[in-house]
């Protein structure tokens, strides 16, 4: 067995409309564009604080929009985040819930149906 330590993973979210996804991640969630690829851009690396997501429209929209998360993003205040997003009129925003595994979480779908979960330790 390898002794390599894995530090973090970066989700790659599929998009059917890169400009729409770019606007969602930058204007709604407050991520900054770190890098883009294509002319016009069809792939982007977005960062907010320590969270990084890749958005890829070369593969097209997600084919499975089931209840499985495609990204879990740790935040410091999930209630404040939910309030902020609700104030922006974000559709499909879930309610904050405390889980049986000790997290306070809220879920939301991005414009392409990718299910994102934002969470913080509930203690």
Classify residue 2: in a domain, yes or no.
Answer: no
Q: What is the model's pTM? A: 0.81
Mean pLDDT of the chain: 89
**Contact between residue 74 and residue 51 where contact means Cβ atoms under 8 Å apart:** yes
Domain count, the chain: 1
Regarding predicted confidence, which is higher, 4 or 24?
24
Q: What tokens does 115 get?
A: 């299910």
Classify residue 85: in a domain, yes or no.
Answer: yes
On the question of a cis peptide bond just before residue 102, with omega within 30 degrees of 0, the verdict is no
Classify residue 31: in a domain, yes or no.
Answer: yes
Q: Could you report the per-residue pLDDT of 74-116, keeping only the tens digit for each?
A: 999 999 999 999 999 998 899 999 998 899 999 999 998 889 9
Classify residue 4: in a domain, yes or no.
Answer: no
Asked if the model's pLDDT at residue 52 lies above 90, the reply is: yes
The pLDDT of residue 4 is: 54
CB atoms within 10 A of CB 48: 15
The pLDDT of residue 61 is: 73
The pLDDT of residue 63 is: 73
Question: In CATH, what number is assigned to the domain containing residue 18?
Answer: 3.10.180.10
Q: What tokens does 68 get?
A: 């499985």
The pLDDT of residue 8 is: 77
Residue span of the structural domain in which 91 resides = 12-121
The pLDDT of residue 66 is: 64
Classify residue 56: in a domain, yes or no.
Answer: yes
Classify residue 6: in a domain, yes or no.
Answer: no
Classify residue 69: in a domain, yes or no.
Answer: yes
């Amino acid at each position: 067995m390898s002794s390599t330590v894995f530090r973090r993973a970066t989700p790659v979210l599929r998009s059917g409309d890169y400009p729409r996804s770019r606007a969602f991640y930058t204007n709604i969630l407050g991520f900054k564009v770190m890098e883009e690829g294509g002319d016009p851009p069809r792939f982007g690396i977005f960062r907010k604080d320590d969270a990084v997501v890749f958005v890829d429209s070369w593969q097209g929209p997600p084919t499975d929009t089931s209840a499985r998360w495609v990204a879990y993003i740790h935040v410091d205040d999930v209630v404040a985040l939910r309030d902020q997003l609700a104030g922006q009129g974000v559709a499909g925003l879930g309610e904050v819930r405390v889980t049986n595994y000790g997290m306070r979480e809220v879920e939301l779908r991005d414009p392409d149906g990718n299910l994102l979960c934002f969470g913080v330790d509930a203690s």
